[in-house]
């Protein structure tokens, strides 16, 4: 292929040959800082956020014990301990129908 008899110069950007100024550097700095700050905010929000119960009206609980008229259990999704003052559950546990380790749905 023979060389072209003239030089082809393509300038896609109007400021292609212009040197950077302090204003350009400051604008770029703030743009990068904004993006980093937004990313950090999303990371913190994801770490702190705990989703609510998506099953509708309650959850699954693993029975731990019965004492003082309450059934003590832990949420299978979050591991949080809860106590139910429901006398029907307490009576069922004392009668042996509900045992330690059983999973109940409320």
Which pTM value belongs to this model? 0.45
- The residue segments making up the domain with residue 92 are 60-105
- On average, the pLDDT of the chain sits at 83
Considering its fold, how many domains does the chain have in total?
1
For residue 105 the two structure tokens come to 């749905």
Q: How confident is the model at residue 4 (pLDDT cuts 50, 70, 90)?
A: low
For residue 48 the two structure tokens come to 């702190």
The pLDDT score that the predictor gives to residue 19 is: 80
Residue 87 domain-assigned (yes or no): yes
Residue 97 domain-assigned (yes or no): yes
Asked if residues 84 and 105 have their Cβ atoms less than 8 Å apart, the reply is no
């Amino acid at each position: 292929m023979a060389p072209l008899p003239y030089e082809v110069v393509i300038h896609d950007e109007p400021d292609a040959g212009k040197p950077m100024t302090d204003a350009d550097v400051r604008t770029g700095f703030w743009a990068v800082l904004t993006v980093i700050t937004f990313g950090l905010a999303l990371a913190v929000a994801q770490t702190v956020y705990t989703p609510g119960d998506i099953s509708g009206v309650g959850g699954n609980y693993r029975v731990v014990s019965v004492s003082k008229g309450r059934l003590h259990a832990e949420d299978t999704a979050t591991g949080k301990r809860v106590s139910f003052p429901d006398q029907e559950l307490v009576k069922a546990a004392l009668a042996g129908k509900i045992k330690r380790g059983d999973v109940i749905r409320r």
